[in-house]
Structure formats: structure tokens, C-alpha cells
């Protein structure tokens, strides 16, 4: 049905071993003519080595599995993974996605079974995941943290600084009440609180809401007074709070200042449009992809350099 290396060998008039060597870069020992004949035959037959056979012989496949965190996927992120898929394909690697919400043992099964060349995560691994990878001897690739701390901390810092710069002294952090965001949300909250502390401000209030009007209103009522500046987990939370403020007739940004995160298109359609933070996901992804490829092909040089996360404040009308 599909051409095997045996077919290629026959067509090129050589042995299977020769085909294998030539097509895998170890062909220096063969004459130019033979190399050419093999290359040609492979091309003509559209030969594509079997992942299974190769994995069996070599111990690991050419598959790279990207763990998709339980944070909101879609939109830019999707574009990003798409371009990464193409980029990897160009290097003979197959990028597949795995939703990582499932248990760690499930991940373990995946690894022992598929023997991927590497596992990739743009948001870093949990300790559990790291342990499993280590145990199975599988390469874990995570976008190295830009100097100066993780992206998560950077985001929290930028949000806090912006609110403080705009004159707010009483700050709050608004979580998305979704257990899947637990991990990142908590980190963001802590980093945010740290900035408040460093600036000599009182500890921030902490809100938590679902994306519904009643819930958002309820959250606002938890604030001790008007005049707070709220850093939101993302633009969706920000939109919800904005709607809630309108509902209870709080003026934005006077009674409530809001800064989001993500620069969602929908966030610019509110009135006033959201103040938010943009970062170029495409750049991040391309960087991560390129970096991953480099690491995979030059296992020695683990160049831990990655372009720093560029966070840009989009000044809207909510701060």
C-alpha cells in the first residue's frame, strides 16, 4: 500500500541498509551515483519511513507532542500552533496536540507508548509532569523563561504598575472562577500581591467570578468601596466586570478601573473599550518553535535564550 524502504532499495538497485543510511545522513560512505539513485527512487515512490518501524528501531519516534494547557485555547494560540505544525513538518517532525487536563498517569501512558521525540509546553510543566518526563527519559521542552522571571510574573507586574501609575492606591485582582485556571491564576495573584507589597500598598482584594452578570455584580459588591483598580485574569473577566459596573451604575474608570489581559478583539467593542495588555503570540510561538527545533537538532547546545515576552499596554478607556 505504501512504499517501504525495501521498495526503494529494489528500485535503486541497492540493499535496504544502504537506503536507510543514505536517507539518514550517514551516506558519506556511498558513491555519489548511488546516493542519487536512492534519493531519486525515494522521491519517485514518495517514500515515507514508517513511524512505527523507526520508533521501534531507534527507541523514539519523530513525534513531538505539545501539551495544551487548560487555559483558554483558540484564537491566536491556534494560529500559533498551526504555524508551528508546519515548521516542525519542514524538519521531519510531526507535531500533535494533547489536552493536558487529563491525569498524569495518562500522560505517562502516552509517553511509554508513543515514545515521542519530545514533549513541548509553552507554559511550562508542572512538577508532576516534569517527574514523569524525567523518569521516562523523554525530553521536555518548555519555552525558557525570559530573564527577569516568568511571563506570569511579568504580566502581573505590568498590570500592577499600570494601575499604580494611573493613580490607584487600592488594588484588586480578579480571578476567573474556573478550576482549570487555578494554577496560573494563583501565580498571577501572588505576583500581583508582591508588587503591591513592594510599593508599600495594602494587600490587594481578591475577587473570583464566573462569566455571568449576577456573579460579576456579586464580585463587585465584595469590594469595600468604590475607587478600586482591578487587574483581571483576562479580558473576559474584564468584560464581565465592566458589564457589572454598568449594571450597578458605577462609573468606569472613576468608580472602578479595569485592566484586562490578552487584547481580545471583543474587548475593544465595549464602551469604553478595555485597557488591556497585548503580547504577540505569534512571535512567542515562532520563537518557541524555532528554539525547540534548535534544541532538538543540537542536543548539546541548550541555548536557554528566548526572546523576552513583549508586553504592550493597550490604553483603552477603563483606566
Partner DNA sequence: CGCGTTACGTAACGCGCGTTACCTAGCGCT
Partner DNA sequence: AGCGCTAGGTAACGCGCGTTACGTAACGCG
Q: Which positions lie near a second copy, rule CB under 8 A?
A: 1-2, 48-53, 55-56, 61-63, 65, 68, 70, 72-75, 78, 81-82, 85-86, 89, 94, 96-99, 101-102, 106, 109-110, 112-115, 136-137, 210-213, 216, 236, 239-240, 243, 246, 265-266, 268-271
Residue of 211, 173, 271 lying closest to 72 (CA atoms): 211
- CA 41 from chain centre, in angstroms, equals 40
Residue 270 interacts with DNA (CB under 7 A): yes or no: no
Residue of 151, 60, 120 lying closest to 294 (CA atoms): 120
Residue 91 interacts with DNA (CB under 7 A): yes or no: no
Residue of 273, 268, 267, 235 lying closest to 252 (CA atoms): 273
Report whether 88 contacts 64 (CB < 8 A): yes
Residue 52 interacts with DNA (CB under 7 A): yes or no: yes
The strand pairing partners of 94, in sequence order, are 63
Report whether 178 contacts 209 (CB < 8 A): no
| Binding partner of 73, given DNA, a second copy, none, CB within 5-8 angstroms per partner class | a second copy
Helix (H), strand (E) at residue 258: strand 256-259
Other residues' Cβ atoms within 10 Å of the Cβ of residue 314? 17
What's the closest the beta carbon of residue 84 comes to DNA, in angstroms? 23
What's the closest the beta carbon of residue 278 comes to a second copy, in angstroms? 14
Position among 36, 40, 44, 56 found at the interface with DNA (CB under 7 A): 56
What's the closest the beta carbon of residue 80 comes to DNA, in angstroms? 29
Query: Which region, judged by CB under 7 A, interacts with DNA, from 10-18, 102-110, 191-199, 212-220?
Result: 10-18
d(CA 235, CA 76): 14
Each residue 26-45 as x (binds DNA by CB under 7 A) or -, in order, gives x--xxx-xx-----------
Query: Which region, judged by CB under 7 A, interacts with DNA, from 51-59, 169-177, 295-303, 305-313?
Result: 51-59
| Binding partner of 31, given a second copy, DNA, none, CB within 5-8 angstroms per partner class | DNA
d(CA 237, CA 176): 6
Position among 10, 39, 45, 54 found at the interface with DNA (CB under 7 A): 54
Residue 143 interacts with DNA (CB under 7 A): yes or no: no
Sequence-separated (6 or more) residues with CB below 8 Å from residue 261: 155, 159, 231, 232, 233, 234, 235, 238, 276, 277
The strand pairing partners of 256, in sequence order, are 228
Residue of 304, 285, 284 lying closest to 294 (CA atoms): 304
Residue 57 interacts with DNA (CB under 7 A): yes or no: yes
Identity of the residue, 68 or 145, whose beta carbon is nearer to a second copy in the bound complex: 68
| Binding partner of 30, given DNA, a second copy, none, CB within 5-8 angstroms per partner class | DNA
Please report the sign of the dihedral spanned by the C-alpha atoms of residue 144, residue 284, residue 189, residue 314.
Answer: positive
Residue 15 interacts with DNA (CB under 7 A): yes or no: yes
Q: What is the Rg, in whole angstroms, of the alpha carbon atoms belonging to the chain?
A: 25
What's the closest the beta carbon of residue 179 comes to a second copy, in angstroms? 12
Position among 11, 20, 66, 256 found at the interface with DNA (CB under 7 A): 20
Where on the chain is the footprint of DNA (CB under 7 A)?
A: 4-6, 13-18, 20-21, 23-24, 26, 29-31, 33-34, 47-50, 52-54, 56-59
Amino acid at each position: 500500500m505504501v512504499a517501504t524502504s525495501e521498495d526503494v532499495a529494489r528500485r535503486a538497485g541497492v540493499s535496504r541498509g544502504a537506503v536507510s543510511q543514505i536517507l539518514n545522513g550517514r551516506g558519506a560512505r556511498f558513491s555519489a551515483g548511488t546516493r542519487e539513485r536512492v534519493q531519486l527512487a525515494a522521491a519517485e515512490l514518495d517514500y515515507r519511513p514508517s513511524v512505527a518501524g523507526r520508533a521501534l528501531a531507534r527507541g523514539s519516534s519523530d513525534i513531538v507532542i505539545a501539551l495544551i494547557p487548560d487555559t483558554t485555547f483558540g484564537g491566536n494560540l491556534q494560529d500559533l500552533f498551526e504555524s508551528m505544525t508546519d515548521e516542525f513538518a519542514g524538519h521531519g517532525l510531526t507535531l500533535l496536540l494533547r489536552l493536558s487536563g487529563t491525569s498524569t498517569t495518562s500522560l505517562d501512558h502516552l509517553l511509554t507508548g508513543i515514545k515521542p521525540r519530545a514533549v513541548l509546553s509553552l507554559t511550562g510543566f508542572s512538577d508532576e509532569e516534569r517527574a514523569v518526563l524525567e523518569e521516562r527519559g523523554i525530553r521536555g521542552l518548555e519555552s525558557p523563561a525570559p530573564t527577569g522571571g516568568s511571563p506570569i510574573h511579568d504580566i502581573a507586574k505590568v498590570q500592577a504598575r499600570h494601575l499604580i501609575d494611573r493613580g490607584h492606591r487600592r488594588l484588586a485582582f480578579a480571578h476567573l472562577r474556573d478550576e482549570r485556571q487555578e494554577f496560573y491564576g494563583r501565580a498571577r495573584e501572588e505576583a500581583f500581591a508582591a508588587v503591591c507589597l513592594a510599593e508599600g500598598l495594602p494587600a490587594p482584594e481578591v475577587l473570583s467570578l464566573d462569566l455571568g452578570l449576577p456573579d460579576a455584580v456579586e464580585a463587585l459588591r465584595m469590594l469595600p468601596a468604590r475607587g478600586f483598580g482591578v487587574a483581571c485574569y483576562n479580558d473576559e473577566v474584564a468584560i464581565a466586570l465592566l458589564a457589572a459596573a454598568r449594571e450597578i451604575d458605577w462609573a468606569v474608570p472613576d468608580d472602578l478601573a479595569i485592566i484586562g489581559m490578552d487584547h481580545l478583539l471583543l474587548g475593544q467593542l465595549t464602551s469604553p473599550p478595555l485597557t488591556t495588555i497585548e503580547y504577540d503570540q505569534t512571535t512567542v510561538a515562532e520563537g518557541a518553535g524555532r528554539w525547540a527545533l534548535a534544541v532538538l537538532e543540537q542536543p548539546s547546545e541548550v541555548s536557554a535564550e528566548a526572546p523576552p515576552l513583549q508586553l504592550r499596554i493597550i490604553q483603552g478607556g477603563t483606566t
